[in-house]
């Protein structure tokens, strides 16, 4: 185990989730086994031309950052960003199978009521409704199905926010990542900057790797003042061991460290809505680079060598994390999105149009790589990342 992997493990984090895949990879994979999300038959109506998808995810430990901001400033508005984080982690996974309409979503807030009073809870609820309304303005058919607030002080010292989404869609409209094959271009859509539908610039951090990002960047001040935000069974050398406070300026950025860490997870829904309306036939697959970062793609397609050798500029937040923690390049690309969080696998001659569509929303995009035939003797998928004169290789864990 490398030094950086040991840091993740000591914090109770698995960067590869290999133990999870060891179980779920043997379960029924649904009617589109190669799709990004599990897709089942339409048991709600029995229509064999349709399919059902139910998906769950959440904001993870990113909600802790909103709590720290709230306790330090008295401003509960950061919880609106946490609401967006939880929603996007579901919605943007659904985008990868082509679901852009008829999405019903419900959120669950598990809180310690002493730590998260009514004003903070109100921001989570109103933030959810306002974000969904914004998406509908851009033609994305997503609606609130209500939710649940559970006061579970014995389970959490602060708050967790999770969501579940359900959609019924036509099987003919499914984007099936089984169609990812050699000979495709990979277009990456930037995770940082400011899209036209965003009200402020985004650091690009998303909602993956935040346990390590928080502890590697923030100082021991937060451990001393807010012990309820950590697992006290963890060796203290791995807890809030960074050089910064939240109001310090992030190096090479106009953001503070707190603003960068709290940047809400960007949704690509307006962009994907337009792409699937206008260029669906040229799109063979999509990957949301969430858990697994730039290696997420390794599980999609058959007999594919994913080559990524033309990354968008790495945002300052990731450079700061690596500098503060000493995390290896190999692990950084496995944990974080490193500058693009949505990948579109398309015919090479369609890449220019896809890039133009993304840029029309103020989101930089470019061809970040390509697919070739697997070079492994058994034909298994693998990933090669070339960046900063380094070559990183990743094999599919079995």
Q: What domain range is 158 assigned to? A: 3-395
Which are the contacts of 174, defined by CB distance < 8 A and separation ≥ 6? 32, 35, 39, 51, 97, 98
Query: How are beta strands 283-288 and 340-346 bridged, if at all?
Result: antiparallel
Whole-number pLDDT of residue 3: 53
CB 77 within 8 A of CB 123: yes
At 171, list the tokens. Answer: 């099987």
pLDDT over 70 at 267, yes or no = yes
| Per-residue pLDDT tens digits for 118-130 | 999 999 999 999 9
Tell me what percent of the residues of the chain surpass a pLDDT of 70: 93
CB 163 within 8 A of CB 56: yes
Across 2-24, average pLDDT: 56
Whole-number pLDDT of residue 28: 79
Q: What is the pTM of this model?
A: 0.93
What is the helix, strand, coil percentage profile of the chain, to 5? 35, 25, 40
The CATH code of the domain that includes 212 is: 3.90.650.10
CA neighbours closer than 13 Å in the CB half-sphere of residue 42: 12
pLDDT averaged over every residue in the chain = 94
Whole-number pLDDT of residue 17: 54
Whole-number pLDDT of residue 45: 86
What is the count of structural domains for the chain? 1
Higher pLDDT: 7 or 366? It is 366
CA neighbours closer than 13 Å in the CB half-sphere of residue 382: 13
CB 39 within 8 A of CB 51: yes
Whole-number pLDDT of residue 301: 97
């Amino acid at each position: 185990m490398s030094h950086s992997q040991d840091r993740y493990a000591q914090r109770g984090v698995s960067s590869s989730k290999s133990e999870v895949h060891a179980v779920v990879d043997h379960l029924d994979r649904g009617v589109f086994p190669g799709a990004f999300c599990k897709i089942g038959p339409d048991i709600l109506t029995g229509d064999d031309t349709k399919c059902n998808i139910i998906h769950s995810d959440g904001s993870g430990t990113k909600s802790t950052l909103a709590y720290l901001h709230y306790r330090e400033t008295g401003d509960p508005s950061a919880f609106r960003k946490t609401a967006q984080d939880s929603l996007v982690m579901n919605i943007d996974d659904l985008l990868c199978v082509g679901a852009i309409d008829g999405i019903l979503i419900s959120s669950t807030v598990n809180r310690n009521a002493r730590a998260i009073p009514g004003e903070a809870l109100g921001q989570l609820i109103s933030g959810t409704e306002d974000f969904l309304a914004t998406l509908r303005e851009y033609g994305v058919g997503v609606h609130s199905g209500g939710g649940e607030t559970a006061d579970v002080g014995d389970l959490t010292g602060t708050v967790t926010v999770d969501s579940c989404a359900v959609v019924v869609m036509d099987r003919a409209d499914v984007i099936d990542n089984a169609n990812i094959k050699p000979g495709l271009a990979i277009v990456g859509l930037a995770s940082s900057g400011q899209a036209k539908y965003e009200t402020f610039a985004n650091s690009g951090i998303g909602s993956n790797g935040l346990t390590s990002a928080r502890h590697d960047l923030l100082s021991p001040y937060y451990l001393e003042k807010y012990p309820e935000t950590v697992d006290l069974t963890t060796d203290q050398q791995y807890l809030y061991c960074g050089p910064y406070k939240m109001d310090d300026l992030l190096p090479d950025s106009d953001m503070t460290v707190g603003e960068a860490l709290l940047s809400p997870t960007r949704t690509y829904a307006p962009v994907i809505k337009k792409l699937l309306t206008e260029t669906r036939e040229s799109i063979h697959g999509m990957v949301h680079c969430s858990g697994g970062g730039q290696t997420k793609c390794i599980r999609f397609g058959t007999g594919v060598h994913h080559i990524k050798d033309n990354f968008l500029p790495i945002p300052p937040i990731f450079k700061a994390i690596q500098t503060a923690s000493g995390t290896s390049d190999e692990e950084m690309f496995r944990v974080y999105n490193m500058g693009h969080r949505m990948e579109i696998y398309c015919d090479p001659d369609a890449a220019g149009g896809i890039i133009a569509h993304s840029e029309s929303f103020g989101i930089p995009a470019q061809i970040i790589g390509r697919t070739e035939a697997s070079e492994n003797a058994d034909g298994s998928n693998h990933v090669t990342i070339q960046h900063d004169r380094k070559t990183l290789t990743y094999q599919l864990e079995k």
